[in-house]
Amino acid sequence: MSLTRQEQLRAWDHAHVWHPFTPQVEWSESDPLVIDRGEGVYLYDTEGRRYLDGVGSLWCNVHGHRHPKLDQALIDQIGKVAHSTLLGVTHAPAIDLARKLVELAPEGLTRVFYSDDGATAVEVALKMAFQYWRQKSEPEPGRNYFLAFGGAYHGDTLGDVSLGGVDRFHTMFEPLLFPTVLRAASPYCYRCPLGLTRPSCATACLDEVDRLLEAHRGQVAAVIVEPLVQGAAGMIVHPAGYLAGLRDLTRRHGTFLIADEVAVGFGKTGSLFASNKEGVTPDFLCLAKGLTGGYLPLAATLTTEEVYSAFYGTAAAGKTFYHGHTFAGNPLGAAVALASLQVFEDEQTIERLGPKIDRLASKLATLADLPYVGDIRQQGLIAGIELVEDKSTRRSFPWESQVGARVCRAARKFGLLIRPLGDVIVIMPPLAIEADELDWMIDVITTCLREVLMPEVEVGS
Ligand code: PMP
């Protein structure tokens, strides 16, 4: 009996494709959703069914799929060259993009080092910071530590995993990780690690950073943070002023601040860069995901003249940064990134976000009284809905119950594609989403929460 094309694809997927972050038994027993094409904020499967891309194809899509200007930029660039290296030669898309990024980024970030993914953008920042202290004019070779936060996620390469604070992902690899990481509590206000509450806490979690930097004076190469929102930890929205507080502390202690804006950059928080929101210029700014509008893998690590100057030397001086990825600054990626930044200007993407963010906030508020909805967190167009078994004690559901995954699976039959982080339902749509589509998303999530958690209540009631 011959299989249809769709059946064949599903069978071959199960036979050969090992999916990232995916428990394999559940996957092999599932009917894989095979995406065929996209249009605006929607994806379509091979049977023509439509799904709203509620997490922006993993937090990266910005202007929607198949945006005519982004598509055209790729067509134009592919008519010239698809790839040429930045090792020893250069090309216009990488040059123009670097100039544009420097113009748009927080003031003082004037040097752009390209790579290809979020994980590499962070690795670059770590290695640059480390090397800087060794070869600045008055070297400080004792700076071997990085300070990272509980729940931190900076990518899956081993350097980034060393900084990671998500036990389920990271603990296993401990024997392979560099041990020089100081860990400060995450500013997770719903479950404050210090047992305090806002606003009477006066952001006491910053005091711990202060103490750690003091105790390790002269030993810390950099503090690394996901500004405003810790993504993979469950969309933990930081209290206002926290990022600016970290910037003050790092300056006061004479160490670097690395802003990992891989997830939160390019408008997701309501301004082009999250750092802008608190008037912060980090020493390193890591960008990926939305850099190309979510089209292609391209990443950039921006830094200052001060950092660059420590690497400025002849081959004989031995100051070179010996790091580079084959597809760093890929011309197709750079061309589409330039087009994406142009669309931000042409369509006033950031300026038009305000009403959508407000609409999302008021719609999310309608969930607050539902049983099992423990915490609702929002920053810009990013939101996390934390589900708990007991609202009064904030007790989580047992991991095995997979409540978040079940809610997201239920949403699919209504045509909404979302992915949870544990029992946190994540919303991170393309910025191009319209307000009524945001309403619709929350309505679907409400229906699915009822269906999965309150089956005895009639759906829609
Ligand atoms: N940093 C942060 C804050 C992220 O959220 C991610 C990915 N979700 C990464 C780094 C790693 O990016 P990539 O998956 O592109 O390597």
**pLDDT tens sequence across 409-428:** 999 999 999 999 999 999 99
Buried b (16+ CB within 10 A) or exposed e, 281-305: bbbbbbbbbbbbbbbbbbbbbbbbe
Tell me the CA–centroid distance for residue 264 and ligand 1, in Å: 10
Tell me the CA–centroid distance for residue 117 and ligand 1, in Å: 8
pLDDT at 455: 79
Per residue in 140-191, pLDDT (tens digit) is: 999 999 999 999 999 999 999 999 999 999 899 999 999 999 999 999 999 9
Contacts of 29 (CB under 8 A, 6+ apart): none
Residue 227 in contact with ligand 1 by CB distance below 6 A:
no
- Is the CB of residue 269 less than 8 Å from the CB of residue 379? yes
Mutation pick for ligand 1 pocket among 124, 262, 284 (CB with most ligand atoms within 8 Å): 262
Same-domain pairing of 275 and 391: no
Can you give the CATH number for the domain in which 43 is found? Answer: 3.90.1150.10
Place of tokens 């038994």: 25
Q: Reduced to 3 states, what is the DSSP secondary structure of residue 428?
A: coil
Residue 282 is encoded by which pair of tokens?
A: 């980090």
As a residue count, the chain comes to: 461
Residue 232 in contact with ligand 1 by CB distance below 6 A:
yes
Place of tokens 């594609």: 417
Q: Is residue 416 part of a domain?
A: yes
Q: Is residue 275 part of a domain?
A: yes
Sign of CA dihedral 79, 432, 345, 302: negative
Residue 26 is encoded by which pair of tokens?
A: 């559940």
Question: Where in the sequence is the domain holding 216, given as residue range(s)?
Answer: 71-346
Place of tokens 């945001």: 438
pLDDT at 456: 66
Atom of ligand 1 nearest to the CA of 289: 15
Q: What is the DSSP letter of 1?
A: -
Domain end, chosen from 316, 346, 376, is at: 346
Q: Is residue 79 part of a domain?
A: yes
Same-domain pairing of 313 and 371: no
Residue 297 in contact with ligand 1 by CB distance below 6 A:
no
Report pTM. 0.97
Can you give the CATH number for the domain in which 304 is found? Answer: 3.40.640.10
The count of structural domains within the chain is: 2
Amino acid letter for position 18: W
Q: Is residue 14 part of a domain?
A: no
Domain end, chosen from 346, 377, 397, is at: 346
pLDDT at 461: 40
> How many helices, marked H, and strands, marked E, lie in the chain?
16, 17
**Cα→Cα distances 407→161, 362, 458, Å:** 29, 21, 16
**Cα→Cα distances 221→216, 218, 257, 406, Å:** 10, 8, 9, 42
d(CA 369, CA 291) in angstroms, rounded, equals 37
d(CA 417, CA 34) in angstroms, rounded, equals 12
Tell me the CA–centroid distance for residue 118 and ligand 1, in Å: 5
pLDDT at 170: 87
Atom of ligand 1 nearest to the CA of 261: 3
Residue 288 in contact with ligand 1 by CB distance below 6 A:
yes
Mutation pick for ligand 1 pocket among 289, 291, 296 (CB with most ligand atoms within 8 Å): 289
Residue 421 in contact with ligand 1 by CB distance below 6 A:
no
Q: Is residue 263 part of a domain?
A: yes
Amino acid letter for position 315: A
Domain end, chosen from 291, 326, 346, is at: 346
Contacts of 231 (CB under 8 A, 6+ apart): 59, 153, 263, 264, 382, 421
Per residue in 197-233, pLDDT (tens digit) is: 988 998 999 999 999 999 999 999 999 999 999 999 9
Q: Reduced to 3 states, what is the DSSP secondary structure of residue 269?
A: coil
Per residue in 340-379, pLDDT (tens digit) is: 999 999 999 999 999 999 999 999 999 999 999 999 999 9
Residue 262 in contact with ligand 1 by CB distance below 6 A:
yes
Tell me the CA–centroid distance for residue 119 and ligand 1, in Å: 6
d(CA 343, CA 300) in angstroms, rounded, equals 19
Q: Is the pLDDT of residue 460 over 90?
A: no
Q: What is the DSSP letter of 328?
A: T
Residue 453: alpha-carbon gap to chain centroid: 29
Residue 176 is encoded by which pair of tokens?
A: 């392979």
- Is the CB of residue 155 less than 8 Å from the CB of residue 224? no
Nearest Cα residue to atom 10 of ligand 1: 154
For 461, how many CA atoms within 13 A lie in the half-sphere containing its CB? 8
